Structure 1
Amino acid sequence: MIFYYSNVGNPVVQVWQHGPAVGFFGLAAAFFLSCMLNMNENKLTDDESIQEVEGIDYGRGMAYSYYYGYLRFVLPSDGINNPGIRSKIEMYEASENVTIPVKKLFILIPESGYIPPDLSEASNYRLEGAKSLQSEIRDRAGTKRRDYKNTVYKIHPNNYEPGHRPVYIVVEGATPMLTLYEILQHNHEQTATYRRNKKQIVASFYETLAKLVSDPSCRNVVELVYYQDDDDTGNRINVAEMLLDRIRQQALQSF
């Protein structure tokens, strides 16, 4: 039997005719070359997978989880027990004798991912927590009567000056962003990858979530607030001012 061995770009050479030893080494070289080609092909596949992992898929996955695991419960009415967030805001206004000028849930998506436990810390204490809206109670993944609720905040436009009137708003941070931020504070196997691609992950989360909440049942009752935490001078953005600007654009008559 005659065997042939060829390097890429060289003519075919009959190796067995030079003896069994030469033929053996020729076959070994061919086998080695084949393995190297397969390794290169696998490396290309791995690189493509890594490129997907580095930002795009992780951000998108968080958005889907947040939407289907939370927002779909609290935003629209289910036609049975949950009246939907707009109706809950109107019931809150009636029971507390206040006005919430923009009847939406504002969701903060900071580029850093950090969201303080109390939003007053991100507003130079011009945001003040008030009572929460009516809770949404659900049995979820084996947990009985899981409580989903949204907090109403008061914005103090004039720094608590006498006679000032606070502006009410329903606002919270996107919890997956805080989870991402907390992951980056530790050293796990993929932490360096996430740190390197944090901005891409957050952007992917926002873009995917924006498409999801454009669903007719949600689009008019939620507003995503995607922002860079620090301005060009390194000063922290005042969340209260940012939210007031959003409200002024939609309900100028409230000022």
Structure 2
Amino acid sequence: MAALLLYLTRHSYLHKGQSWELIVVVPVVYTLFISLGVLGPSEVEVSSICEERKMNVAHGLAWSFYVGYLQLVLPSLGKSIDSFRASHRNSFWGQGPQKLLILIPLNTNISHKLEDEDNYIQFYDSLPNSQLDRAGIQGRVYKHSVYRVQDENGKAHDCAVEYATPLLTLYRMSQDRRAGFGESERRQQVLLFYRTLQDILEQSQECRNRYRLILLKDEHQDDPHFLSKTILKHLEQQNKEEFCVNPAAPQQETKNPVQMGDWHNPEEISREPTLMISLERPQPLRGPVEDTDIHYRAT
């Protein structure tokens, strides 16, 4: 671009000794073209960059996890939890919104049994199985495990929690030289997987309010109860998200009646709103009357 501008303006600039203005003109024009997308990378270049950085791996795993698993099991999660609570009277399941807790560790350190990582977590039972005909498999079984998590005071809490299974694929790929990415690239893949899956689930009507993604960082790996504390923290936040919308009784609403001057009427506050229709004929509109002695009464 500098050479082209120099060639086109050589008669005007070089004659007057103003060729230094190209130093200002070229960056300004280049920045303008970049902002307008004229000099942006082509589709082939974008595909090449994504392939070199292995960005398509996490993106594909997130979509596969959603389409092949979460979209199938999350819509029926509420019924499974209700059936479980009805058959387990001794369960310590909270009263808040019941969701599937999905653990996503940055280091892809996944244990097949959560009790192996934290002795405050114990396997309790499994939710009722869901059976679907999938890809030629008749009655394919999908199941969720219920774990009992104990806090520091010894109080138990039940919840459905599991790891995101595609992270096992990322871990195996990082151990294979043919995959072409190491530990640092694997962490980037986990973050990309988390963001992509979060964006997919937030736009899914079937899975809304039925899941909770928990990103596990590495700062507290020396704490033997880090996993149980993290799960309990999210359960506490989950219970705070529950809002009771049950209408209160009229007697309860009239305890603090609204007062305006010397007038108050509790019955007007507790009464259900009704549609009032007047049977009188409409009256013609009257113009403004300048008379301060007239008192208007409410009809």
TM over 0.5, shorter chain = yes
Task: Report 1:205-220 matches (<5 A).
Answer: 205-214=193-202, 215-220=204-209
Unmatched 5+ residue regions in structure 1?
Answer: 1-8, 10-43, 77-83
Question: Does residue 148 of the first structure (1) align with residue 142 of the second (2)?
Answer: yes
Q: Is the 8 A contact 1:133 1:149 kept in 2?
A: yes
Q: Distance in 1 between matches of 2:128 and 2:166?
A: 23
Name the SS for the 1:205 alignment partner: helix
Residue number in structure 1 paired with 2:115: 120
Question: Does residue 181 of the first structure (1) align with residue 171 of the second (2)?
Answer: yes
- The share of aligned pairs that are identical, in percent, is 30
Question: Does residue 158 of the first structure (1) align with residue 152 of the second (2)?
Answer: yes
Q: Which amino acid aligns with 2:141?
A: D
**1:207–1:233 distance in 2 versus 1, CA, 3 Å:** closer
| Structure whose CA Rg is larger | 2
Deviation, structure 1 residue 91: 1.2
Q: Is the 8 A contact 2:129 2:142 kept in 1?
A: yes
Residue number in structure 2 paired with 1:85: 77
Q: Which amino acid aligns with 2:233?
A: D
Q: Which amino acid aligns with 1:154?
A: R
Q: Is the 8 A contact 1:122 1:238 kept in 2?
A: no
Which structure 1 residue ranges, 4+ long, deviate > 4 Å from structure 2?
Answer: 44-48, 232-237
- CA RMSD in angstroms, aligned pairs only: 2.6
Question: Does residue 65 of the first structure (1) align with residue 55 of the second (2)?
Answer: no
Deviation, structure 1 residue 96: 0.4
Aligned pair partner of 1:100 in 90, 93, 96 = 93
**1:241–1:136 distance in 2 versus 1, CA, 3 Å:** same
Deviation, structure 1 residue 94: 1.1
Name the SS for the 1:213 alignment partner: helix
Q: Which amino acid aligns with 2:130?
A: E
Deviation, structure 1 residue 74: 0.6
Q: How many residues end up aligned between the 2 structures? A: 196
Deviation sequence 1:55-78 (CA, Å, 0-9, x none): 4211111000000000011101xx
Q: Is the 8 A contact 2:220 2:226 kept in 1?
A: no
Residue number in structure 1 paired with 2:253: none
**1:193–1:50 distance in 2 versus 1, CA, 3 Å:** farther
Residue number in structure 2 paired with 1:241: 229
Alignment TM-score, normalising by the size of structure 1: 0.69
Q: Tell me: higher relative CO, structure 1 or 2? Use CA pairs within 8 A at least 6 residues apart.
A: 1
Deviation, structure 1 residue 167: 0.4
